[in-house]
């Protein structure tokens, strides 16, 4: 059994080595996507329109507003009388955020206290939101009023609407890793089997004493390893280039990603029992994994704000669970005890999909 698996895996390794262009693509494409993503961030954030609610209407409050208006980050769109008006303006897209200056702003500056300014950020666009947050902090931190000789510092309490967990890059990058891992594992698996059907070597393989389990495990192993390498590379890139923090245990993440990879691979196997050509396998794999993983997993759109039906659908998207795992471990250092539910969901998913594909595979083996 073991030596049979090893024989298949070794052969699969040869195929991979003979096709350096595909490997290069597999490693470069994710990095390219991550770079593009970073480029998009830097482009986006200039002269973002914000609104102001000024309850104080003092020289001090106007000074703050003019600092914002004068910065390259923001331009002040207009003043609003109430939060309701601000909310409507954000919903309509007229502004991306607002500053609320409390009524006692100048009075408290006079007393040498730190008066809080509330910042509201439209969290539905988390890239911009993240940058806005940093920009506001930077501007408010630089505003210094002379009260005696004491500098007064501001406290920013950003309230993020629509996407309260927004973490910007930190949030998106682990998501990218999840989506790519899933895509690579699924597509490679389905293509490797479809290719053998297409060229006729599958028949030869089935005629050899290697059993279905050996064939499948032997084929899956090298690609799991590859997907692992790609995932690790993406993470290292994220840590170095975007300085995304990694608070939790890399070992826990590595272990749980195996569960996620298994789920992805099982989808690939299922696709391969349907597809007879590499193109179909590729297209099916892309549609079946990439779109749901991007749209329904919480990668970009928070699940909480989806319509109820889509929320139900999201419970059968493996990427949703892996996103919770990778974000939880990297950003919040949560332990295995909080991730058992996700682990269980991934394993259950794998088991069900694997059962369906094995039944289909067996049936095709001997019609």
Partner 1 sequence: MNHDYAVDVEDLTKRFGRFTAVDHIDFSVRRGEIFGFLGANGAGKTTTIRMLCGILLPSDGKGSVAGYSIMTQSERIKQVIGYMSQRFSLYSDLTVRENMEFFGGTYGLKNQKLKNRIERVTDLYGIGDFLDQLTGDIPLGWKQRVGLASATLHDPQILFLDEPTSGVDPSARRQFWQTIYQLARGSGTTIFVTTHYLEEAEYCDRAAIMHKGTILDLDTPASLKSRYSKSNMEDVFVHVIREHEGELTV
362 binds partner 1 (CB under 8 A): no
- What is the β-pairing status of strands 97-101 and 116-122? antiparallel
11 binds partner 1 (CB under 8 A): yes
Nearest by Cα to 145 from 111, 174, 120, 173:
111
Cβ-based nearer residue to partner 1, 38 or 211:
211
Query: Which one of 13-21, 42-50, 163-171, 269-277 is the stretch in contact with partner 1 (CB under 8 A)?
Result: 13-21
59 binds partner 1 (CB under 8 A): no
3-state secondary structure of 52: strand
Cβ-count burial 116-135 (b if 16+ within 10 Å, e if not):
ebbbbbbbbbbbbbbbbbeb
Q: How far apart are CA 154 and CA 148, in angstroms?
A: 17
18 binds partner 1 (CB under 8 A): yes
3-state secondary structure of 161: strand
3-state secondary structure of 347: helix
Q: How far apart are CA 85 and CA 92, in angstroms?
A: 11
Cβ-based nearer residue to partner 1, 11 or 67:
11
Out of 49, 67, 108, 206, point to the residue binding partner 1 (CB under 8 A).
206
309 binds partner 1 (CB under 8 A): no
Out of 149, 200, 307, 308, point to the residue binding partner 1 (CB under 8 A).
200
Out of 207, 240, 307, 308, point to the residue binding partner 1 (CB under 8 A).
207
Q: How far apart are CA 61 and CA 67, in angstroms?
A: 10
Q: How far apart are CA 203 and CA 284, in angstroms?
A: 23
Cβ-based nearer residue to partner 1, 47 or 201:
201
10 binds partner 1 (CB under 8 A): yes
Out of 20, 146, 209, 307, point to the residue binding partner 1 (CB under 8 A).
209
Out of 155, 204, 277, 279, point to the residue binding partner 1 (CB under 8 A).
204
3-state secondary structure of 354: helix
Out of 38, 116, 158, 211, point to the residue binding partner 1 (CB under 8 A).
211
3 binds partner 1 (CB under 8 A): yes
User: E strands, 15-148, where?
Assistant: 48-54, 74-79, 97-101, 116-122
Out of 114, 208, 311, 315, point to the residue binding partner 1 (CB under 8 A).
208
Cβ-based nearer residue to partner 1, 5 or 281:
5
- Residues in contact with partner 1 by CB under 8 A are 3-4, 7-8, 10-11, 14-15, 18-19, 199-201, 203-211, 365-367
């Amino acid at each position: 059994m073991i030596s049979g698996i090893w024989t298949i895996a070794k052969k699969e390794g040869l195929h991979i080595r003979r096709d350096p262009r595909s490997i290069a693509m597999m490693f470069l494409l994710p990095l390219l996507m991550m770079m593009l993503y970073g480029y998009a961030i830097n482009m986006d954030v200039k002269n973002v329109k914000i609104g102001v609610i000024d309850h104080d209407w003092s020289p001090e409050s106007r000074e703050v507003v003019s600092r914002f208006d004068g910065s390259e980050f923001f331009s002040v769109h207009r003043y609003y009388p109430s939060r309701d008006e601000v909310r409507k303006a954000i919903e309509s897209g007229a502004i991306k955020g607002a500053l609320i200056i409390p009524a006692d702003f100048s009075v408290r500056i006079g007393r040498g206290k730190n008066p809080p300014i509330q910042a509201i950020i439209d969290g539905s666009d988390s890239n911009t939101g993240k940058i806005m947050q940093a920009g506001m902090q930077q501007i408010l931190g630089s505003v210094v009023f002379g009260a005696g000789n004491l500098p007064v510092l501001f406290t920013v309490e950003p309230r993020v609407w629509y996407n309260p967990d927004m973490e910007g890059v930190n949030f998106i990058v682990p998501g990218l890793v999840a989506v790519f891992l899933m895509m690579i594992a699924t597509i490679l698996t389905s293509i490797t089997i479809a290719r053998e059907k297409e060229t006729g070597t599958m028949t030869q393989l089935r005629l050899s004493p290697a059993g279905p389990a050996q064939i499948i495990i032997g084929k899956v192993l090298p690609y799991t390893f590859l997907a692992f390498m790609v995932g690790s590379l993406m993470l290292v890139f994220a840590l170095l280039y975007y300085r995304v923090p990694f608070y939790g245990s890399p070992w826990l993440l590595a272990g749980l990603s195996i569960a996620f990879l298994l789920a992805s691979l099982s989808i690939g196997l299922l696709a391969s029992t349907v597809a007879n050509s590499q193109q179909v396998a590729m297209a099916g794999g892309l549609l079946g994994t990439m779109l749901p993983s991007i749209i329904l997993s919480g990668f970009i759109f928070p699940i909480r704000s989806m319509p109820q039906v889509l929320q139900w659908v999201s419970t059968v998207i493996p990427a949703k669970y892996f996103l919770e795992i990778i974000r939880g471990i990297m950003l919040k250092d949560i332990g295995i005890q909080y991730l058992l539910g996700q682990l269980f969901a991934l394993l259950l998913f794998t088991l069900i999909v694997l059962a369906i594909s094995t039944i289909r595979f067996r049936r095709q083996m001997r019609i």
